[in-house]
Structure 1
């Protein structure tokens, strides 16, 4: 069987496989629009002896924020196999091949949304983000508050929305850098509304993406940069109280603290895992990472297990400058490594989803207590979050 990128003439076969695997139908108009946006160079497939497409996946090249820095990432989506080709290791082959492609093209991280967490954990991905969903009856919404500034409805200027989004997203690990095309085709739609908060000086400082239908206000994105914008947008939501019986916040950070701020916190809330991540190139990622310097140089010997990315596997010397700049070099030291972990644990730790000491107590991160304590101090505290689906 042959693994290669798709060609323009493979588009229809790709759509047929996607429709079958994910059980949907595209209209003729949607199909033609998708054809215009089709990037065959980012779609990989396995083809049988007769040239038929057996399985495929899409690589989405995009940066994500990690401790405020933009890190090159490739998202994996659209993974699908015809039933007659399943249980033959085709997806394993595609994932293994994709790892090499991502590494050779300079991607340091990969994200995906799994159909099965155990399946993708086998290949080095790990859960890295949760979100909260709230269902709030109208009589339990926050109190309305008068604020300075203005909320303007149905602002569709992508530059304004993206300015606010990036300022917000840079404060979380895992948030995608959105292109104009993504805003147009994946975020905004004709059925939804926007509401943008402007400060008294005219600066956009928060926004909502929402829909109101069937007596429910569905808030798909609630983005605020300061307390004033948060209060103003909540008041805008509350001003729908005569129209709706409940408000649903579809996706909020796991630590947003909303219930603490409600007069009656007994509302429906759901905590859900959302997305998996994987370090593609451990040395490159460590050298780009925003460590906290201790004022003096320090180092760790780290053993990494990663059978599906052999360039990561082995013993490494991490050296951290007094200012927090790191270098990572392969070492021949086979004994007395100070820290040992697999690539899944390393990913969860470096993205801030789990702290080093927490992982050490779980038995996921092994090593000397002194070395783990220094890692705890060197890795800044961060919050993971992901809004985008791909």
Structure 2
């Protein structure tokens, strides 16, 4: 594409009449085959229809060459729990450009427009699943959560332990599954408060007819946790396990262990910093950990105003750089009044903390601590200010098990 050809391109909303082009670009960029679609339980044309709500409920924008969609991104309307405070979150997905139009800064400009729209919609933070971590780091996103994968042999499964409740096998969309997750999400930092669109995306690439929910009920018949799973080729596959207390955790593992005679392995994923090996009698299991989701603060001033600091602290100021969002470049002072209410100012109150938007995001999401970030020279501050940051930023690491 010659430079002067770019004058013929324009950015505009991707509306419902472009649904087929939207899906074609998605499938091309992410190399989704017909076989993969079929394996996920979709009949011909069903996946395309299933994506229709994305265009109806999300903010989708793209570059057009006349009436041809050549580059796009979608911003899902989401809500997440950040240390007990609910935030509107912009879920960035569907990012792609046809290769013949790549390398000309189209996506750079599209993401800048996307950030403007997120800010206008008061989405002060954005999450995404990174197909290319370096690319998104350059745009201001940073790793915020991990996915831990485990493989437990049948002989290593925990022995049965007595609990007061019991597990029932239910459909994955049973109201008790939805309600249990909702309670869990409101109690766990980083988690998505799933609406109907989020649940649809959660199961998008799964064959739902083959998935089962095992729900743990306590002695008062209250659902306190669940495991979403399927069994295939003598393997018990765990898609997600959540629990609101340790009794539910034990009860769910009792349920899994009861499949001892049916399976050779239990394989699954964890989305929080809780290595499963420590909880087993025989902890010599295979575990791998890899980065999972990335996050980005969209508007630093507004995010800091709403951020639930652990406690009052000493006044300080951030000196920030942001590669795309100009409004995040500069000084952001943080101080507390006599009533303990946080105030954000453009004045340089207290001592400086110098970092980029990526480092600020991963620090405030508690994926990495201030002292560690200073040690690896991602953040610059004196010892007193670092201690202040350690005190005011909550310790709980993020949980995020969704995918979009």
Give the TM-score category using the shorter length. over 0.9
Instruction: State the partner residue of 2:4.
Output: none
Alignment of 1:112-151 (within 5 A): 112-151=128-167
Tell me which residue corresponds to 1:164: 180
CA contact (8 A) 2:57 2:77 kept: no
Check the 8 A contact 2:58/2:76 in 1, yes or no: no
Q: CA deviation at 1:362?
A: 1.6
**Matches of 2:271 and 2:62, distance apart in 1:** 35
1:67 corresponds in structure 2 to: 83
- TM-score by length of structure 1 reads 0.93
- Give the C-alpha shift of residue 337 in structure 1: 5.1
Deviation at 1:342, TM superposition (A): 0.5
Asked if residue 15 in structure 1 is aligned to residue 23 in structure 2, the reply is yes
Distance 2:202 2:372 in 1: 36
2:116 is aligned with 1:100: yes
* TM-score with structure 2 setting the length: 0.90
| 1:40 positional shift | 7.0
Partner of 2:215: 196
3-state SS of 2:46 partner: helix
Q: What are the ranges of 5 or more consecutive residues in structure 2 without an aligned counterpart?
A: 1-8, 38-43
> 1:388 and 2:402 equivalent?
yes
CA distance, structure 2, for counterparts of residue 176 and residue 355 of structure 1: 22
Taking the aligned partners of 2:226 and 2:172, their CA distance within structure 1 comes to 11
How many residue pairs were aligned? 384
Q: 1:17 to 1:184 in 2, by over 3 A?
A: closer
Offset at 1:95? 0.8
| Further displaced range: 361-370 or 282-291 | 361-370
CA deviation profile, 1:320-348 (whole Å, cap 9, x unmatched):
245653221212x5x98521111011001
* Contact 1:303 1:337 (8 Å CA) reproduced: no
- Structure 1 184/277 Cα, relative in aligned 2: closer, same or farther at 3 Å? closer
2:271, 2:401 within 8 Å by CA — same for their partners in 1?
no
Please list, as runs of the form range in 1=range in 2, the aligned pairs for 1:33-112 lying within 5 A after superposition: 33-35=50-52, 38-39=55-56, 42-48=59-65, 50-112=66-128
Cα deviation, residue 38, structure 1:
3.4
Alignment match, 1:153: 169
Note the C-alpha offset of 1:210: 0.2
1:32-82 deviations in Å (ceiling 9; x for gaps): 33336632752111012x331110111011111100121111011111111
For residues 248-259 of structure 1, the aligned pairs below 5 Å read 248-249=267-268, 251-259=269-277
Cα distance in 2, alignment partners of residues 35 and 260 from structure 1: 44
In the TM superposition, what is the alpha-carbon distance from 1:155 to its structure 2 partner? 4.2
Distance 1:160 1:122 in 2: 41
Distance 1:185 1:385 in 2: 17
Equivalent positions of 1:176-255 (< 5 A) are 176-184=192-200, 186-187=202-203, 189-249=208-268, 251-255=269-273
User: Is the 1:144–1:235 contact (alpha carbons within 8 Å) kept by the matching residues of 2?
Assistant: yes
Judge conservation of contact 1:155–1:196 (CA < 8 Å) in 2: no
SS in 2 for 1:200: coil
**Does residue 339 in structure 1 map to residue 347 in structure 2?**
no
Q: How far 1:257 moved relative to its partner?
A: 3.8
Query: 1:371 — aligned with what?
Result: 385
Q: What's the CA shift for 1:350?
A: 0.5
Q: In structure 2, how many angstroms separate the alpha carbons of the residues matched to 1:236 and 1:144?
A: 9
Q: How many Å apart are 1:159 and its aligned residue?
A: 3.3
Distance change in 2, residues 1:207/1:10 (3 Å): same
Cα root mean square deviation, aligned: 1.9
Structure 1, unaligned runs of 5 or more: none
